[in-house]
Structure 1
Amino acid sequence: MRIDEDARPGAGRVLAAVRDAAAGVTAAELGSRLGLHVTTVRFHLDRLAADGLVAGRAAPSGGRGRPRVVYQAVRVPDARVGMLAALADAAAGEGPAAERAQRAGERWAEGLDVDGLDPVAALVAVFTELGFAPAPFEGGLALRACPFLEDARRHPEVVCGVHRGLALGIARRAGASIELRPFEGGVCVLAIA
């Protein structure tokens, strides 16, 4: 379930407003724009940051006191568009299907805006936006949903291969390594090293 479709309408409004503010926005500015108390906005921003959908950075306050935090949305392209492009790359390549699919997923990862995020935050951001409902656990992430589940069951070497490559590419950019274990205990597991 995507954050903007869940039962927290305030979070969806805050996320939409952060996405609209391309240069970044503070909690106080969001509160003014949305007619929400700044504490409520901060609550939603904390949750959105934990889900990897927004990232905050310190900016000089221009005076005394703590630096203000400016939030920006983590941009992830549409899952269907990225998946179609990756599948086309995999189909056009040479070699075994699983290897072609993984390379295509790695190329997909190269185009994502995840620089500056730690490995878990980057993976959570991308896989949340793609519809995988990642849940962090000690040592990795459980992907509780798959928007391509039927196809993944029929052709795991291709569909899971693309997702493996995507995860590997993201983790590599963040200085980590990862292993995708499909269909483990009813979920797919991303084990992060």
Structure 2
Amino acid sequence: MTGQHVTTVRFHLDVLTRESLVRQFQQPPRGRGRPRIGYTAVQRSVGYQDLAQVLADQLGSDPRRRSDAAIAAGRAWGARLETMEQPITSLDDAKDATMTMMSELGYAPERDPGSETGDQVLIRMTACPLRDLARTHSEVVCGVHLGLMREVIDRNGGRDTVNVRLHPFVQPELCVARLEALRTVLVPDAATMPDARPETGEPRIATPSGGRVAPQLRTADPQLRNGDAHVAKQSTK
């Protein structure tokens, strides 16, 4: 079958046997003579898909709770990663950090320059290692990935700068991470309102009681914030 001389094949099989990459076994007798020796490959990989399936099944039956638990697990994972410490003060910073991290983890991220604006960046995830499990447990697998990205961005100072959303299976083999810049909203000063006293004033930035500028969203979708919103319903978008 290999086109190699039997002595050559036997030599290589002996080497593979010593390295524990194949094992020998006796084949059933076929008439007279000594039983023939067979070889089979040694399966050394751990069944991570099976393990992930078991763990996902243990998170309960409520999709919301499963998603919340998965996002929390993703954040815990992100906190343990030895990622580069790069301050995130802009959307471009968040994009670079996310691309680097997901590339190192084997997700083969790709930029989508045609969709980039000053307010959003799309990152295409083309090689999810847990894609098969995500097809049946998207709220768990995608929740972990979402929590991971959020934690890395937040940990490097981007919590009030960039929001992350994840869109599973926009194509059969493709998921998309959406990074969106959080923007402050200018509101008129009370002095400039029609029923106010006729005083001149400049627009001011609305701030909460603590005096901190409140980041506002580009759209009214309440799930855009990094507040660990439920991602189960996002798989249908």
Q: What TM-score does the superposition give when structure 1 sets the normalisation length?
A: 0.49
Q: Computing the radius of gyration over CA atoms, which structure comes out larger, 1 or 2?
A: 2
Q: What TM-score does the superposition give when structure 2 sets the normalisation length?
A: 0.41
- Structure whose residues are more often helix by fraction: 1
